[in-house]
Chain A
Amino acid sequence: MSLSELEFQAQTLEAAPTEAIEGRSQWRLTWARLRRDKMAVASMIVIAVIAILALLAPVFASLLGHGSAQVFPNSGLSGTGGPVSPGTHGFYFGTDELGRDLLVRVLYGARISLFVGITTTAIATVAGVAVGLISGFFGGWVDAVLARFIDTVLAFPFLVLALSLAVVFGPSLTIVISVISFFSWAAISRIVRGQTLSLKEKEYIEAARSLGANPWRIMFIDILPNIMAPVLVLATLSIPAAIVFESTLSFLGLGIQPPTASWGNILAGAQSYYQVAWWYLVFPAAALLITTLAFNLLGDGVRDALDPRTERIFAATRKRRRRTWAGRPATQLDALVAPVPTDGPGEA
């Protein structure tokens, strides 16, 4: 058989109609893996519930008839003038020392926490990705200046600077968001810069340059999709960090100011009363703990879903265990290992 015949056959084979025409994108594979991760799914549900509760906080307030800053000197305080315990007079989480409904305050605190967490992460991610891409891609003096700036920001004692800024400009939500954003972008920038430095040497970037693509097109169309995985993980993990940071500032009295409720300033108020009113400390602290834990676990799940290699290790050990239990190969887990693309950005 001649070569051209062979080639003809090969071409007809290649041109044969196939079923699955739609390519499997990285995000679809990631989502499929994430859905199989029970811990990540549970975290997503918890986050969704907290978000819905936060959004519906005014509804709960009107249903209960208690405003977030409304004081109930008669029903909300005990005979000796202390906070009432949970379940008394329709206060399901009890009250604080002024006779305010703790449940409503914790719900309103969730609004602040989620708002600060998501806003600062959005600002930090956009800024971090932009600075990292520009620094890594252009190199030269641009990189020298930006990389040193990143190092400088990361070297700052952030709490000290945050405190002094809050003192100088006066505590407010804007200052809280600005300060947290300012300290969050640099970590993202550093990762993005490193990834960009390695990716810009790839042959497909050279191919784009040989087609005449301008630097911005290369950065945002060719490089950015390849670094979205670590950026997404960092962003997910930066939300709980921002929530804790906001609570810290508010706890120290330099963030959200009373009477506006924030988990941090509720906890600050609880300091003097938790020995007589455990609920005053436990409920806001539990809310903070559950929220940050859920975001952190989700971040871990996203990282595992984006990095097939770690999953492969897990799957292998699970497969072994199941073999000894059931005495047969775990086919479902085989399928889980198989459809993994082999050319992630970290693989080369």
Chain B
Amino acid sequence: MTGPITPETVLSAQSWPTDADLTDDVLVQVDNLVKHFPVKGGGLVARTVGQVQAVDGVSLTIRRGQTLGLVGETGCGKSTLARCIAGLLPVTSGKVTFEGKDITNLPRRKMQPFRRDIQMIFQDPYGSLNPRRRVGSIIGDPFAIHKTATGAARKKAVQDLMERVGLNPEHYNRFPAEFSGGQRQRIGVARALALRPKLIICDEPVSALDVSIQAQVLNLLADLQKDFGLAYLFIAHDLEVVRHVSESVIVMYLGKIAEAGPKDPVYDTPRHPYTAALLSAAPAADPEAAASRQRIILSGDVPSPINPPSGCRFHPRCPKAQDRCATEVPQLEVKAGDMPTHLTTCHFPVQAGEVLASVSRAFRGEAR
């Protein structure tokens, strides 16, 4: 499962402090990735009047056979980041390397060999399957596009895949509309699996499913990871799901990384106030635990990514914000007492046992 570690991969891995216990090598390395979307003004000739700073300087590492979780609110740039890594969106600046090879903004033809290794599973099991095509033809698409199997061999491969993901291979000739949401998501998984990729980017793969079906699909993904040594970039806004599937977690806020590290330290001792607020907002299954827990309620909405706040992007909503936060941009760094892989972007990280004010200063007057 683990490939040879070349000097190149070791070198690139150093920009992200590696856990001494992790001996596996780097599959994807993202360095300082920036994606801005121009905002066009009205008028006869559209002029660019601003930039949506969807992703602003994100670096991350995905290791072979591991799962990296990516959480954050809607609109924080998770999906944009995923599409940049998958080569579906041109990158404004920064670098994406796959197995040490630079794949940033490759033209379609040059990207083709990497498409086999990087696949995607989409959020909407209804929107991601063409309603006019039969399931066999949808799952057979990767084989047709990469010319790896034709005719009876392709049909056999497709039916094997359907069986592998828990679909009845006899349903080869059915249309997507004839399947349930969970089954449709399995079709999406089968399509992503067809070319035996090394990385599958899961863009909220279970958000659109109800909870019992979520568990089935998550277990399927876990089984496939074990069998094929897949790496996942797992995007979700359900914190518990991410904790369940991931080895490491990245928390994003407004296009930047707020906190990153192995999942246990991030979940158990969050250092960024945003992570703490996010975790305190997640519903708990145990009513007693839910009652005893203190929720941190953030004031206001997520600011516009067209005109993000100065300094730390979280400062207008942060319960710990001070004057310095509005002027000085915090760096992603290891805080005192944390393990060397746990990084936080905050001037005043949350201390162990600290109780955060439940609302920020600006909001306190309105609270009861």
Contacts and interface: CB of A to CB of B under 8 A. Distances in A.
A330 interface: no
| Most chain A Cβ neighbours within 10 Å, of B115, B124, B130, B173 | B130
Contacts of A10: 216
A217 B120 CA distance: 19
Given A23-B178, A204-B130, A341-B131, A15 B168 contact: yes
Interface residues of B, number: 47
B134 interface: yes
Contacts, number: 107
B141 A18 contact: no
Interface in B122-159: 122-124, 126-135, 141-142, 145-146
Contact of B131 (A6, A212, A343): A343
Interface range for A: 35 or more
B177 A207 contact: no
Nearest to A11: B166
Contacts of A37: none
A13 to B, nearest CB: 10
A336 interface: no
A7 B216 contact: yes
Nearest to A225: B132
B321 to A, nearest CB: 38
B142 A14 contact: no
Contacts of B167: 14
B25 to A, nearest CB: 24
Interface string A217-236: 10001100110000000000
A208 B124 CA distance: 15
B349 to A, nearest CB: 37
Contacts of B119: 210-211
A36 interface: no
Given A14-B166, A210-B88, A26 B132 contact: yes
Interface string B151-192: 000000000000000111011111111100001000010010
Interface in A185-244: 202-204, 206-214, 217, 221-222, 225-226
B108 interface: yes
| Most chain A Cβ neighbours within 10 Å, of B86, B146, B172, B174 | B174
Given A4-B219, A6-B212, A212 B145 contact: yes
A23 B111 contact: no
A343 B170 CA distance: 23
A53 B127 CA distance: 48
Given A21-B171, A23-B173, A212-B115, A226 B130 contact: yes
A212 B86 CA distance: 11
A17 B170 contact: yes
Interface in A277-291: none
Given A3-B219, A14-B167, A204-B127, 14 more contacts: A7-B219, A21-B170, A21-B171, A22-B173, A23-B174, A23-B175, A24-B178, A25-B134, A203-B127, A206-B83, A207-B188, A207-B191, A210-B115, A211-B115
Interface of B: 83, 86, 88, 108, 111-112, 115-116, 118-120, 122-124, 126-135, 141-142, 145-146, 166-168, 170-178, 183, 188, 191, 212, 215-216, 219
